Amino acid sequence: MRIGDLAQRTGASVRSLRYYEEQGMLASQRSASGQRHYGEDAVCRVLLIKQFFAVGMTGKVIAALLPHVKDSGERCPPAVLRQLTAERDRIDAQSDELARTRQTLDALIRTTEEAMRGAPPMNTT
Partner DNA sequence: CTGAGACCTGACATCCGTGTGAGGGGCAAG
Partner DNA sequence: CTTGCCCCTCACACGGATGTCAGGTCTCAG
Where does this chain bind DNA (CB under 7 A)? 2-5, 7, 12-16, 18-20, 23, 28, 31-36, 53, 57-60
> CB-wise, 16 or 27, nearer to DNA?
16
> CB-wise, 22 or 92, nearer to a second copy?
92
Where do contacts with a second copy occur on this chain (CB under 8 A)? Answer: 48, 51-52, 54-56, 65, 68-69, 72-79, 81, 84-85, 87-88, 91-92, 94-95, 97-102, 104-109, 111-113, 115-116, 119, 122, 124-125
Pairing label, strands 29-30, 36-37: antiparallel
* Nearest alpha carbon to residue 53 among 15, 87, 4: 87
Residue type, 6: L
3-state secondary structure of 34: coil
Q: Which residues pair with 37 in a beta bridge?
A: 2, 29
